[in-house]
Amino acid sequence: MHRIITGLAIGALFATSPASADGIVAKIVNSPLSAAGLVSGAPTGINIYLQNDAALGIAFMDPNVVGHGIAAGGRVEIEMGPGFERIADVPLVQKTIMVVTGAPQQGMPGKAVGYKVGEGASPNIYTLTATKDGGLPAESLMTPAPGAKGDPVRQRGIKVFHVGLLQSAFRNTGDRGTITVRFLDGTGKVTASGSASVDFLKSAVPQIQPNNFPDRQRNHNWQMASSGQTLGRDPGTLSLPIMLYGVNQHLILTPYRRAKLTPPLASTEVVPVVHGRAPRGFV
């Protein structure tokens, strides 16, 4: 049996630029809903991947790992630093940012789970403030996505921030952008923080982006399957649906959204070939 991490890894294949990161921020990548989220001069459309000391990088996306929470009376600050220009007539509201548990796209809207979005000490700082008296404990913080109830292990806690969800309040400028994330307790003390920088692209490039629009937003990452099985066809498995931006000659298109494991496959090896069907209008 082998653990499949394909969806997350493929999403980063064409979508990222060289980056540096530290603390609780693992990396910044192009959002799966934006064709040019990291292009200089374009509206910002990114995902900020988090981590912790015990689970770095992609290991933090394992549903057995609990993400971050918001303390009672506390808040999260997401500072869009140098390289991110505020679009003045777009307020910092829910449609410009989404808290996500795991990847891809198991969103947690504020009205559903208990936080509000606002502007911090500067126009370039998002604040996410818990609206419940007890805050948002990570252990019980779960997505309302309908398919999530069918996941073998439910994702819990905050693991990703999707900036530029339905509308972007920022524009990429120059060659590089830096973001800092801070979790503060009810007294205003910073309990966890980190930052990351990402190099902007000069123009849009082909991208292969995972999504979970089918299967009622199930988490198709971290599946257990045997070599030779076909995800989405064999019992107990889910397909790996993808969105395509641009054209890539190395992508093999078939009528099915399936990825077949080719033995031998190491436990942390990415499936080498993905078969996908491009959604209409994206190629």
pLDDT in tens, the chain (283 residues): 444 444 444 344 444 445 566 899 999 999 888 888 999 999 999 999 999 999 999 899 999 999 999 999 999 999 999 999 999 999 999 999 999 997 767 889 999 999 999 999 999 999 999 999 999 999 999 988 877 787 888 899 999 999 998 999 999 999 999 999 999 999 999 999 999 999 999 988 887 777 777 777 777 777 777 788 887 788 877 777 777 776 444 444 333 333 333 333 222 222 223 333 333 333 2
Q: 128 forms bridges with which residues in the sheet?
A: 76, 117
- What are the residues whose beta carbons fall under 8 Å from the beta carbon of 249, sequence distance 6 or more? none
Of 246, 225, 226, nearest in space to 237 by CA: 225
Domains of the chain: 16-199 (2.60.40)
State residue 48 phi and psi, 5-degree precision: -105, 110
State residue 162 phi and psi, 5-degree precision: -100, 105
Give this prediction's pTM.
Answer: 0.81
- Residue 22 pLDDT: 83
The number of beta carbons lying within 10 Å of the beta carbon of residue 160 is 26
| DSSP calls for 14-29 | TT---EEEEETEEEEE
Q: Identify the residue whose tokens are 């070939």.
A: 273
- What are the residues whose beta carbons fall under 8 Å from the beta carbon of 236, sequence distance 6 or more? none
Strands (E), 40-159: 46-50, 75-80, 84-86, 97-100, 107-108, 115-119, 125-130
